[in-house]
Chains A and B, each alone.
Chain A
Amino acid sequence: MAPSGYSPPLADADSWAVDQAVSLPEVWALVAAFRGLVGAWRLLGVCRAARAGAEEFLGTLPRLVVCGGYVEGDGGALSEVWGLNLATMRWEAMPALMCARSHPACCAVRGVLVVLGGLAPGGGTTQGLAPTSRVEMLSKGEGAFVELPPLSCGAISGAAAIAVDESHSALGQVLLLGGMDQDHTLTSSVRLVDLATGVCTPQADLDTCTHARILRRRDGQISASPVREAAVDRRPRWKCGSRRCRAR
């Protein structure tokens, strides 16, 4: 019978290996990636190596950027842009929009933040705001937004934006889906916007403004669009401009 407290050499080796492994931030970075965002945050308090590994993983995640928007009361439409650093859980101020606006379409194209349309101060019927066709972008490391050519299709607000993965345009392209046009009519239009020129090329329209929609390319790639407002089967809040809606 082995004496109390005796450990065979093999177990010693295993224990040594485990100790070595858990002291490596690289190992904890893998654990963090496996556990996801919340799991990684929880690893921050486990030990020094776990914290370093979790921070390494969290540092690879993109920031959640919010731009513009509307503040009730005297605030109105904002030009502020904020980025949530997921490693520190702090909002960091980013360069402000050139044009304050609410309800903009927003997406990242080739690592560049692009903001399209929205409701901007300057008249209109919605709390002193009017739809705008202005487009601006913020490149990584730049201290200010740059104005791009306006949307050739005119002003639009509340559209959904999806960056299109392609390489033959100078600044990239964005798919704009739905939204409200200049006269506050819900639109079913889908446009492919060339950011370098502002030219909007019509695509297959949404057939109504109801239901969730998913874009599926023929190559099998699927992209989701935010759910549009229902304006057909319920009492409409706005006039809907889709072909199906006009036919009813």
Chain B
Amino acid sequence: MQGTLDAGWIWRELSAMSVYRFGCSGCVLSDGRFAVLGGCINSGRKSSCEALTVSGDEPWVPLPPMHDARTQFACAAMAGCVIAVGGNPHRKLAEVYDEVLDRWLRLPCDLPVNSGLHSMGSTLL
């Protein structure tokens, strides 16, 4: 546990991910677990995903991999699903992870950008 200023925030170190990732995305699943998706692992783009139960000391648990390997992409979790879209390399494809089905499905809504898009900001609004 690290100390803090008087602003009321505390940093707590969590279990390391199973692999080193660069350019991955993260979101909070409906059961409160923190999921990380994709990113570069040892110089290669990956589709692998994993999740951590924040309140415990358990290790990261693998999630099914995305259809597409991608880095620096947009993702958001809502209504029991996670949507991932865009990213490197030149991605405009979108896919969705259903937490109940425990699988990724392709979405028929490519980003309307011809060459694909990465490093964008994203949020739910």
- B-binding residues in A (CB < 8 A): 33, 35-40, 61-73, 75, 78, 80, 82-84, 86, 89-91, 93, 102-108, 111, 113, 115, 118-119, 158, 161, 190, 192, 201-204, 206-207, 210-219, 222, 224-227, 229-230, 234, 237
Contact = CB atoms under 8 A, between A and B. Distances in A.
Given A64-B122, A215-B9, 16 more contacts: A36-B100, A37-B81, A37-B98, A61-B78, A66-B74, A69-B120, A70-B120, A89-B107, A103-B119, A106-B121, A158-B119, A204-B2, A204-B5, A211-B14, A227-B17, A237-B22
B125 A113 contact: yes
Contacts of A234: 20
Contacts of A201: 7
B80 interface: yes
Interface in B48-104: 52, 54, 74, 76, 78-81, 83, 85-86, 90, 94, 96, 98-101
Contacts of A105: 121
Interface of B: 2-5, 7-14, 16-17, 20-28, 30, 32, 34, 36, 39, 52, 54, 74, 76, 78-81, 83, 85-86, 90, 94, 96, 98-101, 105, 107-109, 111-113, 115-125
Contacts of A66: 74, 85-86, 111, 117, 120-122
Contacts of A38: 80-81, 96, 98, 101, 105
Contact of B22 (A69, A90, A224, A229): A229
Nearest to A92: B112
Contacts of A115: 121
Contact of B111 (A73, A75, A91): A91
A224 B34 contact: yes
26 contacts: A36-B30, A37-B79, A37-B81, A38-B98, A64-B76, A66-B85, A67-B120, A70-B117, A70-B120, A71-B113, A78-B117, A102-B120, A104-B121, A113-B123, A113-B125, A115-B121, A161-B123, A192-B7, A204-B7, A211-B14, A211-B16, A212-B14, A212-B26, A216-B10, A227-B21, A230-B20
